[in-house]
Amino acid sequence: MNRSLSPIDVRDQSYSTEAELQQVRDAAHALTLQGELRTLDPKWLLIDEGFTLAREHETESLFAIGNGYIGNRGSLAEGSALSAPATFVAGVFEQPNTPGSVPELMVLPDWTGVRIWVDHQPLSMQHGDVLEHRRILDFRHGMLWREWRHRDPEGRITRILAFRLASLADRHLLVHSVTLTPENYSSVIHFESSMEASAGAVSLLAPEWKVRRDSARPNVLPLALRVPGRDTIVAFGLTSQMVHSHRSPGCRTMDIEPGRIMEHCEADLQAGAHCHLNRILSVFTSRDGSDPFDRSMEHLRQVVLKGTKSAVRAHTEAWEGRWQSADIQVEGDDSLQRALRFAGYHLISAANPDDSRVSIGARTLSGPGYKGHIFWDTETYIVPFFIFTHPPSARALLEYRYHTLEAARRKADSAGFRGAMYPWESADTGDETTPKAIIAPNGEIIRVPNGELEIHITADIAYAVWQYWQDTGDDDFFVSFGAEIMLESARFWASRGATESDGFYHIRHVIGPDEYHEDVDDDAYTNLMARGNLRQGATTAELLKERWPDRWEELRTRLLFHQDEVNTWRKLAHSMFIPFESKSLLYEQFAGYFKKEPIDLKRYEPRSAAMDTILGHDRIQKTDVVKQADVVLATFLLWNELSPEVRAANFRYYEPRTGHGSSLSPSIHALMAARIGEMRCAEKYLKQAAEIDLGNNMGNAAGGVHAAALGGLWQAVVFGFAGLTTLADGVSIAPQGLPAWKRLSFPLQWRGRTLRVHIEQDVVGVDTSGEEPLRLRLESGSEIVAEPGHEYIAKKTEAGWEPWQMARSSSKGAL
């Protein structure tokens, strides 16, 4: 039943509180603020000119805003026929009440809806002429802008300038500002702003949907909902203020009905006058602590007291700070420069260093793809970006795996194994959420065995834990969280395989990263990674006994470890069956792979569908077509364990057999091609990786941006073209730039030091800061112990790289 609150006539209202006066000041200064915030450098902007209805869902994903706590798709405020507005909060999953369903990231009420009427005529792109329209994503400041200039059927021209943001400085805060200017007419303008649930997303009928009006805060509208299938409460506090030039503030009324809150504002505007509508939203959930309702209200009160302008400035300053430690600069390739900043923007937007009980889903908080589930993508493709640009975010992502360790133990136990067996897909609880079946693009119903067989994720997580500790020196994390993961994952691998009559330890019935081939034996990637996990698990036990005996005693007692078990891990690692041919230097991807039907992928080019769609699910398993980087990925991850000849042989063998049916594939191929000097190939794959989302190469960007592809692009440039590898006491660089690049530079954090690397065609420079020296190595073998606060330069001549030289001292210790 609808019920309307009595109108709040702001024109007749005296501003009795400082908060209300501050709101008016903020609105009155909106244009000044907007002008100060605009970024003009096109390399920091993603611009969508015009409006293409068929691409709207894709555009909404690309232009999403977020801060790791909350994400909002870049939908039009007034909506459209194909609009899919959505707001997501990390960790808020609903459980549909249908047989066989799995948890999915909940689509929360849309808070961005603003519709406008000019003299009772709706302002719509479907009526009249669109004179100008563009959406602008400002990577540098983390803001989504919209410019719209429209002529309605009556000839009236209206200009709209709007922005929205999810604050990086205050992760519970969202801001939406709209400025309207009637260019050639005077009229009454009616605004209708709303907050409503997406159709079918959730039932918001009482008592599930609660609305409260606080008499002490007359301009604040609070509401809350309970997540279906969970006990989670999500609470919102919303306030808005409308002010226009030359006149008093406009009139505001509110309508409330189940599932929707609507505000109506009116203003009588003269031609050329500006009208500003500022909306501020505070979001808390019961995951954040008790009484999220009151917390959202108090938080909103504090924001209003400080003013919108202050909140926006804090947000932009936070983004500036993050870019100082994350921005890759490429001079000579504007398209790649934009793609790298697009990647950095969405990765930073996806992580929350303050919440270690959530992780980054395959499509971040930019869309509903994969139901928001977390895969191996996070540890293998995304965590490295944060290790070297923002270690607290990397730590939080890995702590999520610690907090879900008990669920991994339950999965292992239910499958008849020991230790921790991590789920292929996970959500809020860490339990397995992989669906049992899916419908393929061609309509075929396909069973999904990945939840039982794609077990390499357990080793991938352990690998990421070990690399984080090695590259940050974060002993507190390792002792408190990482060590237990290392031990329990090693225990799993010791129970998952079996030592057979040939004396080797075999792991059978698995799926490797190449998901085109299911239920295979002795998958090279899985066995290589499991071997490393067993070795590192044994090393972990030894380190704990030596350096942290109290923690070792606690874990040994609680987890019932014995020295014999740890000794067994080393024996199993030594006897692990690795399918390797010494003559060809090739790893056989799995037992029997070399006997598969050869397919010439060039015969299928150009193709607009993945090879499993073209050949069919059953047929492709009989061929040698590889879905994505598999053995190639293993050679990168285990780089220091392999000879240059083995690396090159495996890349050259598997690259022409890989169909790149996953967005994860091109970046790793670009990285590996650059490292082995196949620069034309590297350039081709780098371009593909950069266009996964921006060119919608996979055809499914509507479901959200591809987080792993974004992290992979960063790795391709830093680990591939710059050739960065880490050492026990420093870093090594092996640059392989492209001819068009005039300069490549990027910041880097390693064990408490900050480095700024810059690479030109014949020069490499590294600026260092921190408290301790580190070793710098070049591919030529040239090394130097770099003292903090200095820049070191190496030049390349016809004879090769010259030794490092100290170029200058720097008071800042960095460029």
Give dist(CA 428, CA 440) in Å, integer.
Answer: 27
Catalytic residue (choose from 425, 515, 518, 588): 515
Q: Is the Cβ–Cβ distance between 765 and 748 less than 8 Å?
A: no
> CA-to-CA distance for 284 and 287, rounded, in angstroms?
8
**How many other C-beta atoms lie within 10 A of the C-beta of residue 38?**
15
783 among known catalytic residues: no
Residues 6+ apart with CB under 8 A from 704: 61, 64, 362, 363, 364, 365, 366, 367, 368, 369
Q: Find, among 498, 506, 505, the residue nearest to 522 by Cα.
A: 506
Distance of CA 189 to the CA centre of its chain: 39
- Give the SS3 label for residue 662: coil
41: exposed, middle or buried (C-beta count within 10 Å: 0-12, 13-18, 19+)? exposed
Token output for 293: 């309702």
Nearest residue to 264 via CA among 200, 177, 331, 193: 193
What's the CA gap between 275 and 28, in Å, rounded?
Answer: 9
CB 666 within 8 A of CB 688: yes
Q: Quick one: which of 52, 46, 102, 101 has its CA closest to 76?
A: 52
C-beta of residue 360 within 8 angstroms of C-beta of residue 374:
yes
296-310: b (≥16 Cβ within 10 Å) or e: bbebbbebbeebbbe
DSSP 43: G
Give the three-state DSSP class for 696.
Answer: coil
Of the candidates 302, 295, 188, the residue with the CA atom closest to the CA atom of residue 250: 188
Contacts 24+ apart (CB under 8 A), 686-691: 686/336, 686/713, 686/716, 686/717, 686/721, 686/738, 688/660, 689/713, 689/716, 690/335, 690/336, 690/339, 690/340, 691/339
**Pairing state of beta strands 763-769 and 790-797?**
antiparallel
State the Rg of the chain over Cα. Answer: 28
Catalytic residues: 515
